[in-house]
Structure 1
């Protein structure tokens, strides 16, 4: 029973960590594109 619980917890933690890591790159890329466009127009 404990092994099953630990396995489920490990898989959930890995999924959450992967889910949080992916959007940061997309948001950063979006902000860089937005500010690059905004500052190039005086």
Structure 2
């Protein structure tokens, strides 16, 4: 395209497998993600 100034960049895909984050560091309660998503 001629004009790439305002074009949104494609996100691509999140590759890799989850291997950490299933243990609670402190406290008794925690949140767990049920599906992959971008965290903002």
TM-score where L is the length of structure 1: 0.20
Task: Indicate the structure (1 or 2) with the bigger Cα radius of gyration.
Answer: 1
Question: Counting helix residues as a fraction of each chain, which structure ranks higher?
Answer: 1
TM-score where L is the length of structure 2: 0.20
Q: Which has the higher contact order (CA 8 A, sep 6+)?
A: 2
